A and B are shown apart, each in its own frame.
Chain A
Amino acid sequence: MAYDYLKYVTSIQSASLNELMRDHGQDVWNYAFLLTKNHHTSDDIVQEVFLQAFMHISSFRGQSSVRTWLFSITRNTAINHKKSAFIRKVTLLDFLYPAPSAPSAEEHYMERTYADSIWLLVMKLPPKYREVLILDAHYEMPQAEIALLLRISIGTVKSRLHRARSKMKSYLEEVERHEQS
């Protein structure tokens, strides 16, 4: 493994950080976006993730791959961001207009730039199904690592994956019916 040595180090040099960002930056950004559905939040999260990695490299013990470790930080950061009362209350109160019920212009723009229209359907999935499906299908993460990352049992991973695939199947059938009519 290219990053094996990281589990023995207590600090990370800028060159290694560059390598981490180069190799995993886009993956981390994508994962953050798939969790948050927000471009700017993902920008914010990805920066925080690599800063945390930079500052806490000693907590990486090689029990999982570097990518899974970075994803774990990403997930925590995204969850924290979502839960943050500051983001939820203060920013909305003081700095933002009330959230519109219809998709924003940014959401429309992001939707148009998807590499494949299937991502529109993936983003419709409930978060817990979307996440497990993406980790399995897009990142090709072994189910044991998904379980480790999400802190759920492998059985739960399998059941969520099953439900995610079933929902995707019905979404795809619906699209097909719509196109035929």
Chain B
Amino acid sequence: MNNHKPEWYTRLKKGPFDKPIFDSEMQQEVEARTSLGKSNNRKRRLNPWAVAVVTLVFLTLVFILIPSPDQSLVSSPPANVNANEPTMSEYVIDHLQALMSEDEVKQAFGNNYQAQSTRRDFSQDHKEDPNDMSTWSSVDIWRFDFGVHEGYGVTQADGTKDQEGAFDLTGIRNRNIESQLVIYWKDRRVERAIFKSMNIEGDIDTLQIGPGVEEAPPTDPPASDVPQIDPSLATPNEGIRASSVTSKGILQLRPLKDGNETIEPLGAPSCLGQETDIQFTGDYELYFNDNSGNETLIQEFKQLEMIQPASTFIPLMKLNLTEIELYLLIPRYTDCHALEFYAYGINKESGEVSSLTFLNDEVISPYWTTSPVNLPQVIDGKLVVEGGRGAGMDGATRYVYVPDLAKNQLVLESKEQIP
């Protein structure tokens, strides 16, 4: 392709709008929601006063939890040991950057550090390898020890030869010391820094900050650094994607043989799920194999999308109505608004299996939607479905369905607005 860019490209540099739209109010809303730890419930604009109060409470909590800069971090009260572990790493992320001066570091982390220096003479044509400290002509480090238990003497290792050497890993593993921060200086500025602490699983987490660390192999990488993608992805167009054993036989959702099914990791986190979740897309058929060995096609799906945390098949959700066993196929497990689901009924008397449609105010729908948090349930012999929530909505709708076996339908009996 011709890489010469058209003249009108310059007109697209600016815009699409003159004024910025993502403003401080929207930022505050995100901050408020992060402090509440919610991602998928209330999405409508919050009252500015409520935002201000929540932000204030959040900042107060942060202020209380994060150690004061001029406090001796070594003498953190043991009562706060567990609470301080995540806070300390967050504090490091927040308060330490490459190129900071010695005074700035002292201001952030105090004066209680151990310094080590070494100088080496090399020939003039010597080249330093940024990942091999033994090739550096000078190494200056400061080591901060946080949460040292009373009576414990931190092992004084030589940290000028390699990055591991600076740490008392045995002390951290034995919980005699909560965490250590080692700062490497270049021209009296922070060149890089490594922070190690024990996480709740008992592994040592390593945090690296600063330029030049991209190639430096983490000495003890946290488990979360390793993508958890299932190595044994199912083979497209083969196998079973969803299944449930019923009293009359087995329901199975299978991809069409010779179909166009794709199976791949989601790739990035979103409302749909985690990046390592598995996304199945293609044409599928739902079969019922009765206890006598007869197979019946119940429903065909064109370009159905399913997303699940694992590559194995998913069970259908079972509910029990008076006259039918109800099975719900929910292709995805999470969403910011609502999940689609399909319903199947097995007549308890005749054993007949049917795909059920939803009749809502004279509109027939092949599927319905449910809150991802509160899944459908049976109350007083009726199917109760809490609808999803979206931006600008003050609440959700709760739907109550009763089965009409003659028409293979779930008929909306009533609905009500809920907060």
List chain A positions with a Cβ less than 8 A from chain B. Answer: 4-5, 8-18, 21-22, 25-26, 28-30, 33-34, 39-44, 46-48, 50-52, 54-56, 58-59, 61-62, 69, 72-73, 75-77, 80-81, 83-87, 89-91, 93-95, 110, 113-116, 118-119, 122-123, 133-134, 137-138, 151, 158-159, 161-162, 165, 168-169, 172
Whether A5 touches B16, Cβ cut-off 8 Å, given contacts A21-B22, A80-B271, A118-B11, is no
- How far apart are the CA atoms of A77 and B8 in the complex, in Å? 30
Tell whether, in the assembled complex, residue A56 and residue B275 are in contact, meaning their CB atoms are under 8 Å apart: yes
- In the complex, which residue of chain A has the Cβ closest to the Cβ of B270? A76
Indicate with 1 or 0, residue by residue over B63-85, a CB within 8 angstroms of chain A CB atoms. 00000000000000000000000
Tell whether, in the assembled complex, residue B209 and residue A8 are in contact, meaning their CB atoms are under 8 Å apart: yes
* List of A residues within 8 angstroms of B12 by Cβ: 116, 118-119, 122, 133-134, 137-138
**Could you say which of B9, B93, B225 has the most chain A C-beta atoms within 10 Å of its C-beta?**
B93
Tell whether, in the assembled complex, residue A28 and residue B39 are in contact, meaning their CB atoms are under 8 Å apart: no
Q: Which of B288-327 contact A (CB under 8 A)?
A: 305
Number of contact residues on B: which range applies? Answer: 35 or more
- How far apart are the CA atoms of A116 and B89 in the complex, in Å? 46
Tell whether, in the assembled complex, residue B268 and residue A76 are in contact, meaning their CB atoms are under 8 Å apart: yes
Contact of A91 among B1, B207, B390 (CB under 8 A): B390
* List of B residues within 8 angstroms of A115 by Cβ: 14-18
**Could you say which of B1, B225, B269 has the most chain A C-beta atoms within 10 Å of its C-beta?**
B269
* List of B residues within 8 angstroms of A110 by Cβ: 17
- How far apart are the CA atoms of A155 and B376 in the complex, in Å? 46
Query: How close is A123's CB to chain B, nearest CB, in angstroms?
Result: 8
Q: Which 10 A-B pairs have the closest CB atoms?
A: A76-B270, A86-B338, A115-B15, A25-B22, A56-B269, A72-B268, A29-B22, A137-B12, A58-B224, A86-B388
* List of B residues within 8 angstroms of A137 by Cβ: 5, 9, 12-13
B405 within 8 A of A: no
* List of B residues within 8 angstroms of A33 by Cβ: 16, 21
* List of B residues within 8 angstroms of A118 by Cβ: 8, 11-12
* List of A residues within 8 angstroms of B340 by Cβ: 85-86
Contact of A86 among B14, B31, B266, B337 (CB under 8 A): B337
* List of A residues within 8 angstroms of B397 by Cβ: 90, 94
List chain B positions with a Cβ less than 8 A from chain A. Answer: 1, 5-6, 8-9, 11-22, 26-27, 29-31, 33-35, 39, 43, 58, 62, 86, 89-90, 93-94, 205-211, 213-214, 218, 222, 224-225, 227, 266-272, 274-275, 305, 335-338, 340, 360, 363, 365, 367, 369, 387-388, 390-393, 397
Tell whether, in the assembled complex, residue A40 and residue B392 are in contact, meaning their CB atoms are under 8 Å apart: yes
23 A-B pairs whose Cβ atoms sit less than 8 Å apart in the complex: A4-B214, A8-B207, A8-B218, A14-B62, A30-B17, A33-B16, A42-B21, A43-B391, A76-B268, A76-B272, A80-B270, A80-B336, A81-B337, A86-B335, A86-B388, A90-B397, A91-B390, A94-B387, A115-B16, A115-B17, A118-B11, A137-B5, A168-B8
* List of A residues within 8 angstroms of B19 by Cβ: 113
* List of B residues within 8 angstroms of A72 by Cβ: 267-268
* List of A residues within 8 angstroms of B222 by Cβ: 10
Tell whether, in the assembled complex, residue B16 and residue A119 are in contact, meaning their CB atoms are under 8 Å apart: yes
Can you add 4 more A-B contacts, CB < 8 Å, to A28-B22, A34-B16? Answer: A51-B30, A90-B387, A115-B18, A119-B15
Tell whether, in the assembled complex, residue A113 and residue B17 are in contact, meaning their CB atoms are under 8 Å apart: yes
* List of B residues within 8 angstroms of A46 by Cβ: 22, 26
Tell whether, in the assembled complex, residue B16 and residue A14 are in contact, meaning their CB atoms are under 8 Å apart: no
Contact of B1 among A16, A42, A161 (CB under 8 A): A161
Tell whether, in the assembled complex, residue A87 and residue B208 are in contact, meaning their CB atoms are under 8 Å apart: no
* List of A residues within 8 angstroms of B272 by Cβ: 76, 80
Tell whether, in the assembled complex, residue B33 and residue A51 are in contact, meaning their CB atoms are under 8 Å apart: yes
Whether A56 touches B337, Cβ cut-off 8 Å, given contacts A50-B30, A69-B268, A114-B15, is no
- How far apart are the CA atoms of A48 and B6 in the complex, in Å? 35
- In the complex, which residue of chain B has the Cβ closest to the Cβ of A114? B16
**Could you say which of B225, B227, B268, B338 has the most chain A C-beta atoms within 10 Å of its C-beta?**
B268
Contact of B337 among A29, A47, A84 (CB under 8 A): A84
* List of A residues within 8 angstroms of B90 by Cβ: 11, 13
* List of B residues within 8 angstroms of A138 by Cβ: 12-13, 15
Tell whether, in the assembled complex, residue A116 and residue B15 are in contact, meaning their CB atoms are under 8 Å apart: yes
- How far apart are the CA atoms of A1 and B363 in the complex, in Å? 54
Tell whether, in the assembled complex, residue A114 and residue B17 are in contact, meaning their CB atoms are under 8 Å apart: yes
Query: How close is A165's CB to chain B, nearest CB, in angstroms?
Result: 6
Query: How close is A91's CB to chain B, nearest CB, in angstroms?
Result: 6
* List of A residues within 8 angstroms of B43 by Cβ: 44, 47-48
- How far apart are the CA atoms of A115 and B19 in the complex, in Å? 8
- How far apart are the CA atoms of A49 and B138 in the complex, in Å? 44
* List of A residues within 8 angstroms of B30 by Cβ: 17, 21, 47, 50-51, 54
Query: How close is A35's CB to chain B, nearest CB, in angstroms?
Result: 12
* List of B residues within 8 angstroms of A81 by Cβ: 271, 337
- In the complex, which residue of chain B has the Cβ closest to the Cβ of A10? B224
- How far apart are the CA atoms of A29 and B26 in the complex, in Å? 11
Tell whether, in the assembled complex, residue B225 and residue A58 are in contact, meaning their CB atoms are under 8 Å apart: yes
Tell whether, in the assembled complex, residue B1 and residue A158 are in contact, meaning their CB atoms are under 8 Å apart: yes
* List of A residues within 8 angstroms of B208 by Cβ: 5, 8
Tell whether, in the assembled complex, residue A44 and residue B391 are in contact, meaning their CB atoms are under 8 Å apart: yes
* List of A residues within 8 angstroms of B1 by Cβ: 158-159, 161-162
Tell whether, in the assembled complex, residue A151 and residue B93 are in contact, meaning their CB atoms are under 8 Å apart: no
